[in-house]
Structure 1
Amino acid sequence: MKAVGVIVEYNPFHNGHKFHLDETKKKTNADCIIAVMSGNFLQRGEPALVSKWTRTKMALEAGVDIVIELPYAFATQKAENFANGAISLISALRCEEVCFGSESGTIEDFESTVSFMRNNQEAYDYFTQQYIKKGYSYPKAASLAYSTLSNVDTYVDLSKPNNILGYHYVKAIHDQKSSLKAKTIMRTSAGYHDEAFSHESIASATSIRKTLFSSEKSMDEIQNYLPISTSKWLLSYYQKNQLFHRWEEYFSLLKYKLLISTSSELANIYEAEEGIENRLLTYISESVSFQNFMEKIKTKRYTWTRLQRLCVHILTNTTKEQLKPINEKPVATYIRLLGMSQNGQSYLNQVKKEVELPIISKGTHFSDELFTLDWKAAQTYLAIFPEPLRSSLLRQEYATPPIRYNEKEQKYV
């Protein structure tokens, strides 16, 4: 069986994701699609809208064969480490190819860009630092440095969010000396950060979430942009838990954590650099909501995304020391299996003897430094629920076996 990997968040799964899946199958002739999916918290420093188990069901019913979790240590990191973790997992599961969406749509451009950057790394680093000194955030400084060095008509435009991730996927394949082949599919109709609907059936996850939180009739307004299965599971999750996860639900926890912390304690938290922790402490007392807090601490130098990631690490108490191993060797040490179709199970049975990383189906008896961060993330993600619901959901988190889906009969087994 030929397996192909995709790297996803599905927050939530929408028609654009379905298009990507279908095109991936056509473009690669895949027998098995493996999705590496972020868990409780996401790359932009946000809590996932619904649980990873609910998003796993959305994926399986849409045609994914195996869903594994991208550990917290990678899922809440900058693009480079995010990509390294995901690519290492796809390689470990013996996938032949990885297929990602991009604004470019041409894989040769990514290969050329990776080669160009390798040959100009010293100059790129120099210009990046020069732009940072001028007060730009690192992502903006990096984009400007790249534009200074290259002809953006010849290479990939690294100011685009999906191109940035795609570049790091291809770079990770080279850095890890993986046998993976990369392919890309051009994003259509809706941009990654688009906040408004501009197409009759394709919308960004950002615009879907914004609508979901802004209108009493939001479920009706987003129906055209979601597969039926996604709508079903979103409604089910809300009816059961009476909420969708967003930062405002966690603001009281963040405020409490900041109010009892000293500047020196916060300086040990991952992504707390250049004294930014002092800015957080200055404004937290007078802030009345997470949105209000972010508007106060946001500067030209610190992107909204980076500040959100820092806030996540403060909530989970993730320190620089804890993530030091990832920065030194950015590859996964285990595979957390969340769900699989019968086809996916057949593939796992075929390759499991070749897979060198431990495959974790339950977390109750597994010990690993990085896995401990996943446990802390789960505790944090579920802390907003009242008892006994919180304790019940926490038991499910690591005592529940992987979800098994019979795709032929369209039911869970």
Structure 2
Amino acid sequence: MKSCGVIVEYNPFHNGHAYHIEQSRQAAHADCMIAVMSGNFLQRGEPAIIDKWHRTRAALQSGADLVLELPYVFAVQHSDYFSQGAVDTLSYAGVDAICFGSENGEIAPFLAAHETLKQHGEEFHSSLRQHMDKGLSYPEAARFAYEAIGLEALDLGQPNNTLGYSYMKQMLTRHKQITPLTIKRTGSQYHDQQMGGSIASATSIRKDLLAHHEMTEQAREAMPILTANELARYRHKNELWHEWEHYFDLLQYKLLTLPAEQLQLIHGMDEGLEHRFKQAAKKTASFDQLIDTVKTKRYTWTRLQRTCVHILTGLTKNEAQQSLNTQTPYVRVLGMNETGQTYLNKQKKRMEVPLITQPQQWAHPLLEFEERAVAAYYSVLPAEERVKQIATEYGPPVRI
């Protein structure tokens, strides 16, 4: 069976995602579409609007054949580590190709960009360090460094191009057996706040849902009906859709009660940031206020959100460093349909790492991090539902 991988978050799954899966299937001539998906916390340091199990079910109902989990320690990271974990996972799963959406829509500029960076690597990193020393964030410093080496054919200021380029680097340097493919992103842009028509960004859909606290006609139009049903079912059962403000009380409590020496050990707490957080926690009454108070030119909103997630889960610098400097140690299945199961049955004997369908089958620190992330994510649910949802972490994959 020919397979194609996609790297996703589905927060939530919408019509643009369905288009991506179908176009990727065609571009790769794939029999099986495999999605590697972030769990309950996402790359930009946000809680997913609904949990990974409901998002898995929505994906399987709308085009994916197999959904694998991107481990937490890779999922809540900047693009290079995020890409490393995702491409490793898809490589172990034996994909023939990986297809990503991009603003560019053509693979040649990505290949050319990689060659340019190989030839001018020292110049790039020198420029990157200089701009970061001036107090710029990594994304801003990288943009200037790309310009410094004449990398102009590919606009790496665009979010999907940036992620796509990170995927390309992993494939071309560490997983050369995988064919890179891209399709042009259609409809709304990644960060668009406004909804419009049947193709809308996940950002605008979340904004609409969280503002109205119910499923609106606009949101329903922008996603498959089965996704809308999963969203509605989750809210009815758990009395909420997840957003950062639900976690503010827990976060504030941790910031105020943990000694600065302990906070300093948390992954992402650099250059005395723990003191800024502790001071801000004393005088802010919402998550947005907290981040706005701590934010600087160097410490972007996204970077601070990631650090906040690590505070909730207790991920330390030492734990992160040990995990991120190794390849993904397992492949965990979140869900599959009949096609996905057939593919796995053929592929699992060739896998270089364990295939995990239930976490208790295998002990590993990364699975312990998942348990901590699950406990933090479901902490905002009503007590009875919280117990039920935590138990799903140890159950079987979703099957449809």
Work out the CA distance in 2 between the residues paired with 1:58 and 1:386. 24
Report whether the alignment pairs 1:21 with 2:16: no
Contact in 1 for aligned 2:98/2:181 (Cα 8 Å): yes
- 1:36–1:68 contact (8 Å) kept in structure 2: yes
1:267 and 1:277 in contact (8 A); partners too: yes
> Is the Cα contact below 8 Å between 1:67 and 1:340 reproduced in 2?
yes
Aligned residue among 140, 162, 167 for 2:160: 162
Residue 292 of structure 2 aligns with which residue?
295
Match of residue 397 from structure 2: 402
For residue 87 of structure 2, what is the amino acid of its counterpart?
I
Instruction: List gaps (5 residues or longer) in structure 1.
Output: 406-413
Q: Distance in 2 between matches of 1:216 and 1:341?
A: 31
RMSD: 1.2
Alpha-carbon separation, structure 1, partners of 2:219 and 2:21? 20
In 2 relative to 1, CA 132–81 (structure 1 residues): closer, same or farther, beyond 3 Å?
A: same
Which residue number corresponds to residue 369 of structure 1? 365
Shift of 1:291: 1.1
Q: Secondary structure at the match of 1:364?
A: helix
Tell me what 2:278 maps to: 281
The 5-angstrom pairing of residues 202-281 of structure 1 reads 202-216=199-213, 218-281=215-278
1:274-308 alpha-carbon deviations (Å, 9 max, x no partner): 22221111111111110111111111111111000
Query: 1:171 aligned to 2:166?
Result: no
The 2-side partners of 1:110 and 1:371 are apart by 34
Aligned length: 400
Does structure 2 retain, via aligned residues, the 8 Å contact 1:48–1:245?
yes
Q: Which residue of 2 aligns with 1:352?
A: 348
Aligned partner of 2:96 in structure 1 is 96
1:193 matched to 2:181:
no
In structure 2, the residue matched to 1:410 is none
C-alpha deviation, 1:327, in angstroms: 3.4
- Answer yes or no: is 1:129 the counterpart of 2:129: yes
Instruction: Check conservation: 1:340, 1:402, Cα contact below 8 A.
Output: yes
The runs of at least 4 consecutive aligned structure 1 residues that moved more than 6 Å come to: none
- Rounded to whole Å, the distance in 2 between the matches of 1:348 and 1:102 is 29
Secondary structure (helix, strand or coil) at the match of 2:283 reads coil
Contact 1:45/1:311 (<8 A) preserved: yes
Checking the alignment, whether the CA contact within 8 Å between 1:91 and 1:178 is kept in structure 2 is no
CA shift in 2, pair 1:217/1:333, >3 Å: closer
Aligned partner of 2:49 in structure 1 is 49
Looking at structure 2, the residues matched to 240 and 385 of structure 1 have their Cα atoms a distance apart, in angstroms, of 10
TM-score (norm: length of structure 2): 0.98
Q: Is the 8 A contact 1:7 1:100 kept in 2?
A: yes
SS at match of 2:380: coil
1:116 aligned onto 2:111? no
1:169-212 Cα deviation digits (max 9, x unpaired): 01011231431010001111211111112x31111101110111
Say if 2:116 and 2:151, in contact at 8 Å, map to a contact too.
Answer: no
Alignment TM-score, normalising by the size of structure 1: 0.95
